[in-house]
């Protein structure tokens, strides 16, 4: 069985070697890059199964690398940030990163996050021929495509998984914790706020007015629900 490969983009050699050590102990194949152009070259040539991406890099920074990867791939991206980079965390998630972890971090937690995202990717890749939604939105779970008023909407893999989960039970209210368990995986123990950012990203793509959503509605102090328009 071929090993799953992880691309680690980190300019601090001590940190990248530590991550490499822990990932290899878990049976992963690890690719290393220290700056932006090198990272994009390795990604294009090797097509890793997941990317761990530091935001503060020489040359092309992590946010731009994330944006460029998202133009051609839905591979899971986990960004590394410093504690005082709260804005960059949100921006990173907004342009397509799946998750973030804050430095200094526990290598064991990082490995657990990697495993959770890879499990999610494997689970949702299983073909399930079903059409969800009605009215102006259509969700094809087999082809993993979404149409709005007959026009295809491009979602990241995680955005699709999140929308599918909500649409599978219209009008049911899901808490953030339930969505983390169902989409990210029961072993995920990151920040529940990642749900809010990804919901915001989906709304920008499918709502007529993201500030007054009609399809994915917020239930105050609880979570979110899907209301298809007829």
Q: Distances from the Cα of 18 to the Cαs of 8, 70, 122, 189, 198, in angstroms?
A: 11, 26, 26, 21, 30
Peptide bond preceding 125: is omega within 30 degrees of 0, i.e. cis?
no
Question: How many other C-beta atoms lie within 10 A of the C-beta of residue 13?
Answer: 10
Buried-state track 28-55, b at ≥16 Cβ within 10 A, e below 16? bebbbbbbbebbbebbeeeebbbbbbbb
The predicted pLDDT at position 136 comes to 80
The predicted pLDDT at position 124 comes to 55
Every domain range in the chain assigned CATH 1.10.10.10: 131-226
Q: Model-level pTM?
A: 0.71
Please state the separation of Cα 122 from the chain's center in Å.
14
The predicted pLDDT at position 230 comes to 58
Domain 5-125 in CATH 3.40.50.2300? The answer is yes
The predicted pLDDT at position 221 comes to 87
User: 131-226 maps to which CATH number?
Assistant: 1.10.10.10
The predicted pLDDT at position 83 comes to 60
DSSP-based three-state secondary structure for 107? helix
Every domain range in the chain assigned CATH 3.40.50.2300: 5-125
pLDDT digits (tens, 9 = 90+) for 128-145: 667 787 778 899 888 888
The predicted pLDDT at position 189 comes to 67
The predicted pLDDT at position 162 comes to 94
Residue ranges for the chain with pLDDT beneath 50: none
């Amino acid at each position: 069985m071929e090993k799953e490969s992880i691309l680690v983009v980190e300019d601090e050699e001590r940190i990248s070697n530590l991550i490499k050590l822990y990932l290899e102990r878990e049976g992963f194949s690890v690719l290393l890059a220290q700056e932006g152009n090198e990272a994009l070259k390795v990604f294009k040539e090797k097509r890793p199964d997941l990317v761990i991406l530091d935001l503060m890099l020489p040359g092309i920074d992590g946010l731009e690398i994330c944006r460029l990867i998202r133009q051609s791939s839905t591979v899971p991206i986990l960004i590394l940030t410093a504690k005082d980079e709260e804005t960059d965390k949100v921006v990173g998630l907004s342009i397509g990163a799946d998750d973030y972890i804050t430095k200094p971090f526990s290598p064991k937690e990082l490995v657990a996050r990697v495993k959770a995202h890879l499990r999610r990717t494997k689970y949702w890749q299983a073909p399930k021929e079903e059409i969800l939604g009605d009215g102006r939105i259509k969700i094809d779970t087999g082809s993993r495509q979404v149409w709005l008023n007959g026009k295809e909407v491009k979602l990241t893999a995680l955005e699709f998984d999140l929308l599918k989960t909500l649409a599978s039970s219209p009008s049911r209210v899901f808490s953030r914790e339930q969505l983390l368990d169902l989409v990210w995986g029961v072993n995920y123990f990151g920040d529940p706020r990642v749900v809010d950012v990804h919901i915001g990203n989906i709304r920008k793509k499918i709502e007529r007015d993201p500030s007054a959503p009609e399809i994915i509605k917020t239930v105050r102090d609880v979570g979110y629900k899907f209301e298809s328009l007829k």
